[in-house]
């Protein structure tokens, strides 16, 4: 039986060596495309869209990322239609990251997938298949459903699934799954309540002005 490559281990959720030459090559590509994107003006929409489609595994229609953006690999992240991200979006996608349709992220949202050993000695070095001392980590996927709104400075931790229609309050650190249509906030993030008809802005005439709910 052939030994798994470091990339195959990464995909399988096993310990892998992030310093593996092929993984380093992939990360440098993602870092380089991120820098190119960040160097462009917001009006250079066609070139920005082209770079996003090179950077990520897939990008839907009507995606707008203000930038700067900081992406580890990029090729492990899929983004749905009509996604908006404000300043300083960071995605450390050692594992797969999926973002659904119609999601809105405030400034400084961070999505993290890698995990490290808890014990200091193991975090510094472990042994590979040949007994060679190496630095190892592992990664867990993150999944975000459709129609989610994240406030500023939200951090999504490895292995988390956030359901569709959720509102995550500013400054939250999401360490556990959040069910559909939840309002959740805090560090660690906790579900506060479920969204309901009473959350409609039609009940807030002081905000509507000359607008109305469709």
Residue 121 and residue 140 in contact, taking contact as beta carbons nearer than 8 Å: no
Quick one: which of 107, 121, 91, 112 has its CA closest to 174?
112
Residue 7 and residue 23 in contact, taking contact as beta carbons nearer than 8 Å: yes
Cβ-count burial 84-122 (b if 16+ within 10 Å, e if not): bbbebbbbbbbbbbbbbbbbbbbbbbbbbbbbebeeeee
Q: Annotated catalytic residue: which of 72, 101, 116, 135?
A: 116
Residue 182 β-bridge partners: 194
Residue 150 β-bridge partners: 105, 168
72 catalytic per annotation: no
Catalytic positions, please?
116
């Amino acid at each position: 039986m052939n030994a798994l490559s470091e990339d195959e281990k990464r995909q399988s959720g096993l310990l892998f060596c992030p310093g593996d030459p092929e993984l380093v090559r992939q990360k440098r590509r993602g870092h380089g495309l991120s820098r190119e994107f960040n160097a462009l003006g917001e009006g250079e929409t066609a070139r920005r869209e082209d770079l996003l489609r090179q950077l990520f595994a897939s990008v839907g229609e009507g995606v707008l990322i203000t930038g700067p953006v900081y992406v580890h690999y990029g090729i492990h992240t899929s983004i749905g239609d009509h996604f908006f991200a404000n300043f300083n979006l960071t995605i450390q996608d050692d594992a797969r990251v999926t973002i659904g349709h119609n999601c809105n992220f405030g400034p400084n949202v961070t999505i993290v997938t890698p995990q490290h050993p808890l014990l200091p000695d193991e975090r510094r070095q472990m042994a590979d298949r040949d007994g060679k001392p190496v630095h190892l980590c592992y990664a867990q996927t993150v999944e975000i459903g459709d129609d989610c709104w994240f406030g500023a400075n939200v951090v999504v931790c490895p292995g988390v699934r956030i359901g569709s229609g959720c509102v995550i309050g500013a400054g939250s650190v999401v360490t556990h799954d959040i069910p559909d249509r939840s309002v959740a906030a805090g560090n660690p993030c906790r579900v506060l309540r479920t969204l309901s008809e009473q959350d409609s802005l039609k009940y807030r005439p002081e905000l509507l002005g000359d607008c109305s709910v469709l």
